[in-house]
């Protein structure tokens, strides 16, 4: 069974965590490149990672995104204590902030399955199964990534989890942003994922009360292990 190193970074600056992802990503890619020149018996297994975290208020724009979907200027961003980054994932603009559980799988898909569409559907399934444990029925919206509530009713459809990934040499980075106890007012500063006519929601809003973040993490980890048929191993503690 594949072992994936699990890191819970708590509240961490977006750029610091992005740099961490890039470090893990490059290590895996470099290992795969060096393995190509070695006999099979001498090749070294790559180490996949899963990061859980929350970020201070930040807006991020993917490669295919439209900068006009950010509705706040630099001065307005300062007023709401938010930052802004253009990044190298797919997708348009999204928001991260406290109360939102962000998951970054940095996986070598050669050790799992080499299909990006399947990978996205598996990530969605992990979220769908997790929120189902709280009585929230999540689903997919044809033509869009992420997890939605009431997608069959255009007037009620709302997104509870956004997704955007990058993949090179079958190594992934970036991932999902799941609204647990998020301050949804920040979404008014953007056109979320470039979608003008759909709302966003959170577990707290749907349930009418805050949700225990640690409990959500444990459920997500369990479903991640089941869906990827792997074992999550905690990051070693430095003494």
- What is the Cα 150 distance to its own chain's centre? 21
In the set 17, 53, 161, 193, the catalytic residue is 193
Please check whether residue 14 is in contact with residue 58, taking contact to mean a CB–CB distance below 8 angstroms. yes
Q: What angle do CA 184, 187, 189 make, to 5 degrees?
A: 135
* Residue 21 main-chain phi, psi, to 5 deg: -55, -45
Catalytic site includes residue 161: no
Beta bridge partners of 10: none
CB 119, CB 172: distance < 8 Å: yes
- Per-residue burial over 174-196, b if 16 or more Cβ lie within 10 Å, else e, is bbbbbbbbbbbebbebbbbbbbe
Residues with catalytic annotation? 193
């Amino acid at each position: 069974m594949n072992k994936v190193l699990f890191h819970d970074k708590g509240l961490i600056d977006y750029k610091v965590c992005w740099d961490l992802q890039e470090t893990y990503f490059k290590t895996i890619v470099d290992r795969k490149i060096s393995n190509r020149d070695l006999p099979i018996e001498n090749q070294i297994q790559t180490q996949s990672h899963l990061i859980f975290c929350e970020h201070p208020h930040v807006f991020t724009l993917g490669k295919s995104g439209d900068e006009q979907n950010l509705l706040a200027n630099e001065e307005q961003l300062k007023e709401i204590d938010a930052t802004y980054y253009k990044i190298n994932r797919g997708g348009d603009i999204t928001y991260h902030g406290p109360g939102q559980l962000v998951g970054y799988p940095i996986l070598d898909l050669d050790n799992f399955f080499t299909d990006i569409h399947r990978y996205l559907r598996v990530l969605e399934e992990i979220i769908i199964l997790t929120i189902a444990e709280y009585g929230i029925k999540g689903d997919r919206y044809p033509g869009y990534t992420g997890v939605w509530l009431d997608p069959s009713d255009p007037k009620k459809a709302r997104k509870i989890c956004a997704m955007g990934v990058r993949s090179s040499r079958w190594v992934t980075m970036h991932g999902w942003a799941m609204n647990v106890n998020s301050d949804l007012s920040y979404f008014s500063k953007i056109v979320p994922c470039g979608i003008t006519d759909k709302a966003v929601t959170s577990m707290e809003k749907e349930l009418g009360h805050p949700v225990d973040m640690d409990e959500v993490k444990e459920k997500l980890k369990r479903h991640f292990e089941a869906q990827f048929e792997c074992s999550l191993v905690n990051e070693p503690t430095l003494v």
